[in-house]
Structure 1
Amino acid sequence: MKFAVTSKGDQKSNRIKAIMEQYLLDFDLERNIKEPDLVISVGGDGTFLHAVHHYFHRLKQTAFIGVHTGHLGFYADWLPEEVEKLVIEVAKQKFEIVEYPLLSLKIFYENKKEAERFLALNETTIKKVEGSVVLDVTIKGEHFERFRGDGLCVSTPSGSTAYNKALGGAIIHPSLSTMQITEMSSINNRVYRTIGSPLILPSHHVCQFKPVDKEQSFIMTIDHITKSVENVTALECSVAKERIRFARFRSFPFWKRVHDSFISDECY
């Protein structure tokens, strides 16, 4: 099996990465950064997101697993003191694959024929540096509302525990192929009227956000990536056909993950 290990870059994470690489090589596994079968991320959720985005072109061939060395490792199953156990599992056992949905984002520009496409594991957000975001929201081609406020967040089920949760959105089990639209400080008056609640859409629904003023520029995030866009005619979100593959060597139920991350008194 071919493997790659990524690190947060701090001293602790780099040390664990070096130990894991040497152990795996001792078991006659092949280190292959370009075409790994398994990517092991050492760090926090941010490190995991970086690793996933780096290998988005290999989603069908590559599985991911995380060792967390930070304060909150929602995507990480393993602790630093379990490294030797994990290495033995990787070397000796065939891992189980668990797949989670991803978000597809298309950005349509005024002077471009082809849309720019991105994938997100957590979410994409639409904001502005100054003033309110004003967008016409369409679902399955039908106008739903005209939104005005600080912005919108569109999240995956696994990303529902991230920024979406802070905005008051629902936590969704990642076995459901859905996306969630959550408002940021919407303005409601006689001119603008929004639903005011998070919307959970199934995989066959496509949502578009069309700027009312085409001269608006937006600040967008796609997971950890921040992007400034202008001359936008539409932003289109849907559940991606691609899915991320997690390597599981032991059971770690989603709701236990949620409990340990947000409710448990134990600190990692």
Structure 2
Amino acid sequence: MKFAVTSKGDSKSDNLVQLLKQYLLDFEMEYEEEEPDIVISVGGDGTLLYAFHRYSSRLDKTAFVGVHTGHLGFYADWTPDEIEKLVIAIAKTPYSVVEYPLLEVTVQYQDEEKETRYLALNESTVKSIDGTFVMDVEIRGEHFERFRGDGLCVSTPSGSTAYNKALGGALLHPSIKAIQLAEMASINNRVFRTVGSPLIIPEHHTCVLRPVNEPDFRISIDHLTLLHKKVKSIHYRVAEEKIRFARYRSFPFWKRVHDSFISE
């Protein structure tokens, strides 16, 4: 089996990376950064997000496993004191695959045939550069509302525990093939009105955002934020691709939620 390891970059994570490499090489596994069968992320959820985007072109061939060196993460099953157990599991035990839905983001531009496509593991946000954010929201080809406020956030089920939760969105189990649209500080008064609640959009529906006035926006894809100019529309849907996690033991989603937000 070919493996690669990514690190958060701090001394604790870097030391664990060296241990993992040496242990797995001792088991006659092959270190391969370009085309790994399994990627071990050492750090936190941000480290795994980086690994996901680095290997997003081979999601059907590469599985991910996380080791957290800080606070418990939703994508990290293992702790530093379990490194030897993890190494033995990787070297000796076939893993089961757990797949999570991803978000497809397609940005189309004015007067241009080209479009830009992204995949997000957690979420995508859209905000204005200056002034009030105004966007027409379409769902399944029908106009739903004209949103005014600070911006909009579209998240995956696994990403529902991140920025979406801070916006008052629901927590979705990753077995649900859907995306969630959450508002950022909407303007609601006698003149302007939005639904005011997060929307759960199933995989066979597409959500389209169309600018009303200003065509330039800051669009984030997970940890990356880029300026997009002369935007014609932004299309969101459940992606055909999925991320594959290598599971060597059970770690239920609701236990992750409990351990992260409730457990002392």
Q: TM-score, normalised by structure 1?
A: 0.97
Distance 1:24 1:53 in 2: 24
AA matched with 2:7: S
Residue 219 of structure 1, CA deviation: 1.0
1:257 is matched with 256
Find the residue that maps to 2:15 and give its secondary structure. helix
1:39 is matched with 39
Structure 2: runs of 5 or more not aligned: none
Between 1:106-115 and 1:237-246, the stretch displaced more is 106-115
2:178 is matched with 178
2:166 is matched with 166
Residue 73 of structure 1, CA deviation: 1.5
Residue 228 of structure 1, CA deviation: 0.7
Identity value in percent: 63
Contact 2:215/2:232, CA 8 A, preserved across alignment: no
Distance 2:117 2:258 in 1: 34
Residue 74 of structure 1, CA deviation: 1.6
Distance 1:171 1:72 in 2: 17
1:88 is matched with 88
2:154 is matched with 154
1:224 is matched with 223
Q: TM-score, normalised by structure 2?
A: 0.98
Residue 130 of structure 1, CA deviation: 2.4
Residue 217 of structure 1, CA deviation: 1.6
2:233 is matched with 234
1:108 is matched with 108
Matched, 1:200 2:215: no
Find the residue that maps to 1:244 and give its secondary structure. strand
- Aligned length, in residue pairs: 264
1:48 is matched with 48
Distance 1:115 1:16 in 2: 41
Distance 2:240 2:70 in 1: 31
Find the residue that maps to 2:256 and give its secondary structure. helix
Residue 188 of structure 1, CA deviation: 1.2
Distance 2:94 2:114 in 1: 41
1:61 is matched with 61
